[in-house]
Amino acid sequence: MIKKWSSFFFTAVGVVVGASLISSAAAVLVRQPPATVMIKLAGEIKIWAIVAAIGGTFTAIEVLESGIFEGEVKTVIKQFLYVLSGFLGAQIGYFFNIVADEEILIYTTVKGVNDSSL
C-alpha cells in the first residue's frame, strides 16, 4: 500500500517539476523570464498532476462510488489517501519551484543580473 502511495506522490512531483523545467526552457527560447513562467505553470498544472498520479481514468471515481453506495468505508478511505498522496506530491513540486525561484532571485540580487537575462 505504501508503495502505491509513494508512486502517486512521486508521479505528481514529477509532473509539476518536469513541466516547470520544460516551460522554463521554452521561456528562454521566446525571451520571457523563465522563473516567472515556471512558477505560473507550476501553479496551473497542479490539478493535472493529481489526475495523472491517480491514473487519469474514471476507475478511481468508480471505486469511490462503489465504496460509498455499497458501504465499503475501507475502500473510500484508501482512495481518499491515494488522492491525498497525489495532492501532497503536487504541492511539494510547486514548493520546489518556489524555492528555485527564490534562489534565482537571491542570485540575481547578489550578482546584479536582471531576470530577463537568465
Q: State the pLDDT at residue 15.
A: 92
Cell of 26: 521554452
pLDDT at 114 over 60: no
- Angle, CA of 73, 88 and 78, to the nearest 5°: 15
Cβ proximity of 41 and 85 under 8 Å: no
- Angle, CA of 95, 101 and 104, to the nearest 5°: 145
pLDDT at 111 over 90: no
The residue with greater pLDDT, 106 or 54, is 54
Q: State the pLDDT at residue 95.
A: 86
Cell of 51: 489526475
Against a cut of 0.85, is the pTM above it? Answer: no
What is the per-residue pLDDT across 12-41, written as a single tens digit (0 to 9) for each?
A: 999 999 999 899 899 999 999 888 888 888
